[in-house]
Structure 1
């Protein structure tokens, strides 16, 4: 609603799923680094998202996350990453010709969501005590949201939302109106 998209505009959500406990053979307990897979919701129209209950969009996100838990899907993601070097070379060629735009796939009308709910970020102690705050460190170039726990440990959450500046006033107005 805040982005004032046409009701017939197709849209989708991209999210990242932790696959540490889903790969076979399992990663060793001493593994250090990312183990992630991208997944995308089924496409639906903006009008459907606006008229339906919040559970309509949430169900599509849940389905995408469940799809990313399947070993065949994870293998396809690993193969994709293995081909990424070749893709980077192709992108570079398009950039040199001025034909590649990074905002074609994500950003308005699509959105990317992430969850840091299981990340033990407030347990970190680098010698001067546990952090009072933990959050994103930079500006995201596309419409994005991150759900994270607060430092209170009471189950409350904070949601970081990045929108194009042109849509922020509408978002704030709609958020407080629909709360």
Structure 2
């Protein structure tokens, strides 16, 4: 994929996550045949451990992530180069600063009842969420039963939920696990593989 095509060299190149997430978003919009003016949201999860000042200790155990939503019109996502979608992904990630995180924490602290946040579903047509497990060490972990047969998400049942993870081959290739309505999967695969150069 050429997300950086036509960009000035002074601008930092898009990451694999930004590029692949933009591509997944485009393919989902195409597969769902969204109207051009339809607003579509993309939830990305940002690790905040190094965005806090001071950062969390290196031995911190647990998740320190915030989900943020990027939006655009489906027509722009599908008609413009993948760099457009990648730029929206980057903007969403870049807005998660120390100040943003503390504002988010304060917002949660001021809520009387946090249960309304536990089952928030941001996915579903026309939206998607893309989590990255690319750096999660999933392979070669022996729980006493020998080499793993499968390492990945156990269940994905929400339309638009997706995870990018490293393959077990060790060659840098990635796997995209995505849940879409059955009527959209063949089209998604066609657009996904057809759009990779």
Is this a same-fold pair by TM over 0.5? yes
Kindly state the Cα deviation for residue 50 of structure 1 after the two structures are TM-superposed.
1.2
- Per-residue CA deviations over 1:56-77 (Å, capped at 9, x if unaligned) read 1011101111111x11111122
- Does the 8 Å CA contact 1:38/1:77 hold for their aligned counterparts? no
- Does the 8 Å CA contact 1:148/1:158 hold for their aligned counterparts? yes
Kindly state the Cα deviation for residue 11 of structure 1 after the two structures are TM-superposed.
1.0
Kindly state the Cα deviation for residue 87 of structure 1 after the two structures are TM-superposed.
4.2
In structure 2, the gaps of 5 or more residues are: 1-29
Q: What pairs up with 1:1-179 in 2 under 5 angstroms?
A: 1-41=30-70, 43-68=71-96, 70-83=97-110, 86-88=113-115, 105-179=122-196
Assess, with a 3 A threshold, how the Cα gap between structure 1 residues 102 and 33 changes in structure 2: closer, same or farther: closer
- Does the 8 Å CA contact 2:108/2:114 hold for their aligned counterparts? no
Q: Is the deviation greater in 114-123 or in 47-56? A: 114-123
- Per-residue CA deviations over 1:26-80 (Å, capped at 9, x if unaligned) read 3233321111111111x21111111111111011101111111x11111122224
What is the SS of the residue equivalent to 1:174? helix
How far apart are the structure 1 equivalents of 2:136 and 2:191?
30
How far apart are the structure 2 equivalents of 1:85 and 1:126?
41
How far apart are the structure 1 equivalents of 2:149 and 2:130?
24
- Does the 8 Å CA contact 2:35/2:74 hold for their aligned counterparts? yes
What is the SS of the residue equivalent to 2:68? strand
How far apart are the structure 2 equivalents of 1:121 and 1:40?
27
Assess, with a 3 A threshold, how the Cα gap between structure 1 residues 156 and 84 changes in structure 2: closer, same or farther: farther
Matched residue, 1:96: none
**Residues paired across the two proteins, number:** 167
How far apart are the structure 2 equivalents of 1:120 and 1:39?
24
| TM-score, normalising length: structure 2 | 0.73
Kindly state the Cα deviation for residue 83 of structure 1 after the two structures are TM-superposed.
4.7
In structure 1, the gaps of 5 or more residues are: 93-100
From the CA coordinates, give the structure whose radius of gyration is larger. 1
- Does the 8 Å CA contact 2:156/2:178 hold for their aligned counterparts? no
Assess, with a 3 A threshold, how the Cα gap between structure 1 residues 34 and 50 changes in structure 2: closer, same or farther: same
